[in-house]
Amino acid sequence: MQKHIVSAGSLVIVLFALISAPVPVYAESIQLIPTASDQNKSLGEYLSRVGNCMGCHTAKGGVSFSGGKKMYTSFGVFITPNITPDRKTGIGHWSKEDFWGALHRGESPDGRMLYPSFPYTEYTKVTRKDTDAIFDYLMSLEPVSKDNPSDKIFFPYNLKPLLYFWRKLYFKEGVFNPDNSKSKEWNRGAYLVQGLGHCSACHSSRNFLGASQEEKFIGKKMTGVSWYAPSLTSRLEAGSGELEINEITELLTSGITRNAVASGHMATVIRQSLQFVLPEDIRAIAIYLKSIGKENSDVASAESFPVLSKNIRSRLAQGGKLYTKYCEDCHQSSGRGIPGIYPSLAGSRSVTMASPLNTILSVMKGGFPPNTTGNPRPYGMPPFQQIFHDEEMALVVSYIRNAWGNHSSLVTEIDIERSRNGGRD
């Protein structure tokens, strides 16, 4: 007995030690990047990871950076260009100045204006020094000769004047201006999030041509693909204001925490890019995200649920039965899942967000969290689209949005139908 108490006590002490262990101080290394002294090249390689150039400029199963990936958007299908140093089919004949023109101004050296499906709208804030380093790295790659098919842009978006007009309205060439009232770390985070990380390319509302509403991060149904990229400021969506820094960094690098899991496009961004971001940079990003999460003071949506009618209660009960049969094994009857393995649905913002889209897609299509160094052998979620009819899908999703103290709108068969054709390509 005595022994037990002692060991329990020391466990507590160990836990405390873990929790209160001083956070490593990175302040001095803010000038970032691994020993910037040596090659610009390895700096460039790292920065290209942060910008996820490879993720877009590589076709499924294709050679890295040789382009050919199809990007489905609501204004057309873009096919990414080859950015290896091949002189004919790639960018081997470009100068540093040309490259700067593309990333900073969205212009090709032949004078062509580029479409904002290439996130130069964010990259414009990347410094000349960082852009040059990325260029050096790309030029050190093996040239790959590969002509990619051309874009299929729908009328009227294929009209040059429209692009010109759009740029006048929405694209502001810019540099990152540090806020001196904030810490170096905060500024580093802001620089990465607004610039290379191009988070707002997905996490903000866009106009018809895909232009982000600058720095607003107000959430947006992703063009062409139905995953909803939640707001990074709202506490009802993916705002980080109330999270611990460690929790934010863990989510962004491993893809899963005790309270959240990244799915869909976010899982891909983490696998391709964020898991490779240096600890000090990820920490800076988290500090910045936490600060923009705070600025927002949303209260729970006013959408009220009068007394649930008998009909609604019985529908939720039917959803509950499906949950017991198909979901409970993993997500538990408490809805709390198993931390780090099966995500909690109870109290999950992903589940209760106003938009039910991602929840519907998760249940329809299933998925594995991204394979990362922090979570190399994830457990999976089965798809249920081949098992449930639309009505059953609506019932079970409505149930999890309203069980265990969750409180959000009911989902109808129409919502299910609408989501069906979305999902990952």
Would you state the structure tokens that stand for residue 108, as one six-digit string? 């090709």
Q: Cβ closer to ligand HEC: 2 or 150?
A: 150
Name the binder of 170 from ligand HEC, other proteins, none, CB < 5-8 A by kind.
Answer: none
Where residue 307 falls (left for φ over 0; alpha for ψ -120 to 50; beta otherwise) is beta
DSSP 238-279: T--TTS-HHHHHHHHHHSB-SS-B--HHHHHHHHHTGGGS-H
**Given candidates 379, 389, 417, 418, which one binds ligand HEC under the rule CB under 6 A?**
379
Please state the closest distance from residue 379 (CB atom) to ligand HEC, in A: 5
Applying the rule CB under 6 A, the residues between 90 and 129 that interact with ligand HEC are 91, 102, 108, 114-115, 117-119, 123
Please state the closest distance from residue 128 (CB atom) to ligand HEC, in A: 14
- Cross-strand pairs, 172: none
Question: Which of 354, 74, 356, 50 has its CA nearest to residue 218?
Answer: 354
Would you state the structure tokens that stand for residue 58, as one six-digit string? 């590589």
Q: CA-CA distance, 375 to 378, in Å (whole number)?
A: 6
Name the binder of 411 from ligand HEC, other proteins, none, CB < 5-8 A by kind.
Answer: none
Name the binder of 144 from ligand HEC, other proteins, none, CB < 5-8 A by kind.
Answer: none
Stretch that binds other proteins, among 11-19, 76-84, 114-122, 379-387 (CB under 8 A): 379-387
Chain position carrying tokens 């970032």: 32
* Residue 92 lies near other proteins (rule: CB under 8 A): no
Segment (H or E) for 6: helix 2-20
* Residue 4 lies near other proteins (rule: CB under 8 A): no
Please state the closest distance from residue 181 (CB atom) to ligand HEC, in A: 22
Alpha helices (H) in 273-386, listed in sequence order? 279-294, 310-326, 328-331, 349-352, 357-365
**Given candidates 227, 280, 284, 357, which one binds ligand HEC under the rule CB under 6 A?**
227
Cβ(406)–Cβ(346) below 8 Å = yes
Name the binder of 78 from ligand HEC, other proteins, none, CB < 5-8 A by kind.
Answer: ligand HEC
Would you state the structure tokens that stand for residue 62, as one six-digit string? 């294709």
* Residue 386 lies near other proteins (rule: CB under 8 A): yes
Cβ(109)–Cβ(178) below 8 Å = no
Q: CA-CA distance, 402 to 414, in Å (whole number)?
A: 19
Name the binder of 338 from other proteins, ligand HEC, none, CB < 5-8 A by kind.
Answer: other proteins
248 to 287: interface string for ligand HEC, x by CB under 6 A: ------------xxxxxxx--x---------------x--
* Residue 381 lies near other proteins (rule: CB under 8 A): yes
Q: CA-CA distance, 102 to 131, in Å (whole number)?
A: 10
Please state the closest distance from residue 341 (CB atom) to other proteins, in A: 5
* Residue 368 lies near other proteins (rule: CB under 8 A): yes
Quick check: helix, strand or coil at residue 79?
strand
Name the binder of 91 from other proteins, ligand HEC, none, CB < 5-8 A by kind.
Answer: ligand HEC
* Residue 11 lies near other proteins (rule: CB under 8 A): no
In this structure, which amino acid lies at residue 80?
T
40 to 79: interface string for ligand HEC, x by CB under 6 A: --------x--xxx-xxx-------------x------x-
Cβ(209)–Cβ(154) below 8 Å = no
**Given candidates 91, 126, 193, 267, which one binds other proteins under the rule CB under 8 A?**
267
Q: CA-CA distance, 199 to 119, in Å (whole number)?
A: 10
Cβ(226)–Cβ(417) below 8 Å = no
- Cross-strand pairs, 212: 206
39 to 68: interface string for other proteins, x by CB under 8 A: --------------------xxx-------
Report helix angle 245-254 to 264-272, nearest 10. 90
**Given candidates 369, 400, 402, 419, which one binds other proteins under the rule CB under 8 A?**
369
Would you state the structure tokens that stand for residue 48, as one six-digit string? 């290209």
* Residue 400 lies near ligand HEC (rule: CB under 6 A): yes
Q: Cβ closer to ligand HEC: 33 or 53?
A: 53
Name the binder of 308 from ligand HEC, other proteins, none, CB < 5-8 A by kind.
Answer: none
In this structure, which amino acid lies at residue 84?
T
Where does this chain bind other proteins (CB under 8 A)?
A: 59-61, 267-268, 271, 330, 332, 334, 336-339, 341-342, 346, 365-371, 376-383, 385-387, 423-424
